[in-house]
């Protein structure tokens, strides 16, 4: 049976709702799942979620636009967030930032053309005693140095290459 992309998404969301619930409070866990799997929450997806939870699409958009970890536009497979608060700044986040920019050839707030990496700032990751701190998807790296950056990126690339044919979810760190 031919299933369009949209029908498939709807099926998947229905399945997720079966696990999480149809309550209004299911919205956030649902959005997190979608974000994890698709690296963003599409316009159509927001409308389906609204439809299934019996709320308005603009309410879903309101929530998505409120949280920094939920995105309307596609992000890379690996979203790298570097802490920019005072202690990490003093611990040398600028050097790490320069290394990231040079290695990935993108600026902060951008995504690599191959869709593998997105670079962004974070405001305090709670690792002030171990700065500079950096988040790659859901994994935290502390005491990051420019040398370590290279290794982390290499590990990401390797993981991406090794599992290139598997489902996007398994590609995550």
Partner 1 sequence: MDKELQPIGSETRAPASQRSRTAELLKHAKALGKEIDVSIDGNSVTVPLGTTILEAARELRIHIPTLCFHEDLCLAGVCRICMVEIEGQRTLQSACSYPITAPIRVSTHTAKVRRARRHVLDLLLASHHGECYICTRNGHCELQALAAEYGVDLFRFGRADRPRYAIDASSHAVVRDMNKCILCRRCVRTCIDLQEVGVLEALHRGQHTKVGTFMDKPLADVVCINCGQCINRCPTGALRANDLTDEVWEAIDDPAKHVVIQTAPSPRAGIGECFGLEPGRPLTFQMNTALRRCGFDRVFDTNFAADLTIIEEGVELLLRLQRAIVERDPAAVLPQFTSCSPGWVKYLEHFFPDYLPHLSTAKSPQQMFGALIKTYYARTNRLDPKNIVTVALMPCSAKKFECNRPEMCASGFKDIDYGLTTRELAKMIREAGIDLPKLEKSDFDNPFGTATGSGVIFGATGGVMEAALRTVLELVTGQKIENFFAHADIVPLRGFEGARYAEVPITKVGPVPALVRHLFPDWNWLRGATLKVGVCHGTANAKRVMEDIRDGGRFSHCHFIEFMACPGGCLGGGGQPTPTSPAIRAARAKAIYSEDHAYSVRKSHENPAILRVYEQFLAAGPCGHESHELLHTAYTRRGKYIA
- Toward partner 1, which CB reaches closer, 71 or 152? 71
- Toward partner 1, which CB reaches closer, 61 or 95? 61
- Toward partner 1, which CB reaches closer, 23 or 155? 23
CB atoms within 10 A of CB 46: 21
- Toward partner 1, which CB reaches closer, 47 or 87? 47
- Residue 16 CA to residue 32 CA, distance in Å, equals 11
Q: How many residues bind partner 1 (CB under 8 A)?
A: 18
What phi and psi values does residue 144 have, to the nearest 5 degrees? -75, 135
Applying CB under 8 A, which of residues 7, 11, 15, 56 lies at the interface with partner 1? 56
Our finding on whether 57 is near partner 1 (CB under 8 A) is: yes
| Cis omega (within 30 of 0) for bond into 161 | no
Question: Residues 30-49 vs partner 1: string with x where CB under 8 A?
Answer: -------------xx-xx--
Give buried/exposed letters for 49-72 (b at 16+ CB in 10 A, else e): bbebbeeeeeebbebbeeeeebbe
Our finding on whether 62 is near partner 1 (CB under 8 A) is: yes
Applying CB under 8 A, which of residues 12, 59, 89, 103 lies at the interface with partner 1? 59
- Toward partner 1, which CB reaches closer, 57 or 92? 57
Name the residue with tokens 């760190």.
173
Q: Which of 91, 83, 5, 77 is nearest to 44 (CA)?
A: 5
Our finding on whether 123 is near partner 1 (CB under 8 A) is: no
Applying CB under 8 A, which of residues 66, 109, 167, 170 lies at the interface with partner 1? 66
Q: What is the DSSP string of 67-82?
A: -TTS-SS---SEEEEE
The answer to whether 37 and 13 have CB atoms below 8 angstroms apart is no
The binding site for partner 1 (CB under 8 A) comprises: 23-25, 43-44, 46-47, 51, 55-59, 61-62, 65-66, 72
């Amino acid at each position: 049976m031919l299933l369009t992309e949209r029908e498939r998404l709807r099926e998947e969301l229905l399945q997720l709702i079966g696990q999480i619930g149809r309550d209004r409070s299911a919205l956030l866990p649902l959005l997190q799942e979608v974000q994890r799997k698709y690296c963003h929450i599409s316009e159509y997806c927001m409308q389906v979620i609204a439809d299934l939870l019996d709320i308005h699409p603009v309410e879903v958009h309101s929530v998505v636009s409120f949280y920094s970890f939920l995105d309307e536009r596609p992000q890379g497979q690996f979203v790298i967030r570097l802490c920019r608060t005072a202690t990490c700044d003093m611990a040398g986040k600028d050097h790490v930032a320069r290394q990231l920019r040079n290695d990935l050839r993108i600026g902060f707030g951008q995504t690599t053309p191959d869709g593998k990496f997105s670079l962004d700032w974070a405001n305090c990751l709670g690792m002030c005693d171990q700065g500079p701190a950096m988040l790659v998807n859901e994994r935290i790296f502390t005491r990051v140095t420019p040398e370590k950056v290279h290794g982390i990126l290499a590990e990401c690339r390797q993981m991406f290459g090794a599992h290139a044919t598997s489902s996007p979810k398994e590609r995550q760190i």
